[in-house]
Chains A and B, each alone.
Chain A
Amino acid sequence: MNKIFERALYPYRRSADQDAAAPVRHPVIVVGAGPVGLAAAIDLAQRDVPVVVLDDNDKVSSGSRAICFAKRTLEILDRLGCGDTAVETGVTWNLGKVFFDERQVFDFNLLPEDGHKRPAFINLQQYYLEQFMVERAHELTAAGKPLELRGRNRVIGVTPHADHVALDIETPDGRYALEADWLIACDGAGSPVRSMMGLDFTGKVFEDNFLIADVKMQADFPTERWFWFDPPFNRGQSALLHKQPDDVWRIDLQLGRDIDREREKQPERVIARIREMLGDDVAFELDWVSIYTFQCRRMERFRHGRVVFAGDAAHQVSPFGARGANSGLQDTDNLCWKLAAVLSGSAPESLIDSYDTERVQAADENILNSTRSTEFITPKSEISRIFRDAVLDLAEAHPFARPLVNSGRLSVPCAYDGGPLNGADAPGLPARTRPGAPAADAPLGNGWLMDALDGGFQLLGIDADIPQGVAHDDVAVSTLQLSAADNPALRKRYLGEAERAIYLIRPDQHVAARWRSHDAQAVGAAIDHALGK
Chain B
Amino acid sequence: MTRLETAPNIAGPDDFYAELLAAHEELSRAESDALNARLVLLLANHVGDRKILSAALDAARKATPQRR
Q: Which residues of A contact B (CB under 8 A)?
A: 383, 386-387, 389-391, 393-394, 398, 400-401, 404
Q: Report whether A386 and B41 are in contact in the complex, using a CB–CB cutoff of 8 Å.
A: no
By Cβ-Cβ distance, the 6 closest A-B pairs, closest first, are A390-B37, A400-B45, A390-B38, A386-B37, A387-B37, A386-B33
The answer to whether B34 has its CB under 8 Å from any CB of chain A is yes
A157 to chain B minimum Cβ distance, whole angstroms, is 52
Residues in B with CB closer than 8 Å to A390 are 34, 37-38, 40-41
B18 to chain A minimum Cβ distance, whole angstroms, is 23
Q: For residue B33, which residue of chain A has the nearest CB?
A: A386
B7 to chain A minimum Cβ distance, whole angstroms, is 27
What per-residue 1/0 map shows which CB atoms of B31-49 lie under 8 Å from chain A?
0011001101110010000
Query: Dominant SS at the A interface?
Result: helix
- Please, how many angstroms separate the alpha-carbon atoms of A102 and B34 in the complex? 18
- Please, how many angstroms separate the alpha-carbon atoms of A401 and B38 in the complex? 10
Q: Which residues of B contact A (CB under 8 A)?
A: 33-34, 37-38, 40-42, 45
Q: Report whether B42 and A398 are in contact in the complex, using a CB–CB cutoff of 8 Å.
A: yes
Listed by A's residue number, 9 A-B pairs whose Cβ atoms lie within 8 Å are A386-B34, A389-B37, A390-B34, A390-B37, A391-B41, A394-B41, A400-B42, A400-B45, A401-B41
Q: Report whether B33 and A404 are in contact in the complex, using a CB–CB cutoff of 8 Å.
A: no
- Please, how many angstroms separate the alpha-carbon atoms of A387 and B34 in the complex? 7
A386 to chain B minimum Cβ distance, whole angstroms, is 5
Q: Report whether A393 and B45 are in contact in the complex, using a CB–CB cutoff of 8 Å.
A: no
- Please, how many angstroms separate the alpha-carbon atoms of A175 and B41 in the complex? 63
Residues in A with CB closer than 8 Å to B40 are 387, 390
- Please, how many angstroms separate the alpha-carbon atoms of A383 and B40 in the complex? 13
Q: For residue B35, which residue of chain A has the nearest CB?
A: A390
Q: For residue A388, which residue of chain B has the nearest CB?
A: B37
Residues in A with CB closer than 8 Å to B45 are 400-401
- Please, how many angstroms separate the alpha-carbon atoms of A390 and B45 in the complex? 13
A314 to chain B minimum Cβ distance, whole angstroms, is 33
Q: For residue A399, which residue of chain B has the nearest CB?
A: B45
Q: Report whether B41 and A404 are in contact in the complex, using a CB–CB cutoff of 8 Å.
A: yes
B28 to chain A minimum Cβ distance, whole angstroms, is 13
- Please, how many angstroms separate the alpha-carbon atoms of A401 and B41 in the complex? 8
A480 to chain B minimum Cβ distance, whole angstroms, is 40
- Please, how many angstroms separate the alpha-carbon atoms of A394 and B41 in the complex? 9
Q: For residue B38, which residue of chain A has the nearest CB?
A: A390
B30 to chain A minimum Cβ distance, whole angstroms, is 8
- Please, how many angstroms separate the alpha-carbon atoms of A393 and B37 in the complex? 10
Residues in A with CB closer than 8 Å to B42 are 394, 398, 400
Residues in A with CB closer than 8 Å to B38 are 390, 393-394
Residues in B with CB closer than 8 Å to A393 are 34, 38
Q: For residue B39, which residue of chain A has the nearest CB?
A: A390
Residues in B with CB closer than 8 Å to A389 are 34, 37
Residues in A with CB closer than 8 Å to B33 are 383, 386
A398 to chain B minimum Cβ distance, whole angstroms, is 7
- Please, how many angstroms separate the alpha-carbon atoms of A400 and B40 in the complex? 13
- Please, how many angstroms separate the alpha-carbon atoms of A401 and B40 in the complex? 12
- Please, how many angstroms separate the alpha-carbon atoms of A77 and B33 in the complex? 49
Interface centre among A389, A390, A398 (most CB of B within 10 A): A390
- Please, how many angstroms separate the alpha-carbon atoms of A386 and B37 in the complex? 7
B27 to chain A minimum Cβ distance, whole angstroms, is 13
A391 to chain B minimum Cβ distance, whole angstroms, is 6
- Please, how many angstroms separate the alpha-carbon atoms of A391 and B45 in the complex? 12
Residues in A with CB closer than 8 Å to B37 are 386-387, 389-390
A122 to chain B minimum Cβ distance, whole angstroms, is 35
- Please, how many angstroms separate the alpha-carbon atoms of A397 and B46 in the complex? 15
A406 to chain B minimum Cβ distance, whole angstroms, is 14
Told that A389-B34, A401-B41 touch, could you supply 8 new A-B pairs with CB distance under 8 A? Answer: A383-B33, A386-B34, A390-B34, A390-B38, A391-B41, A398-B42, A400-B42, A404-B41
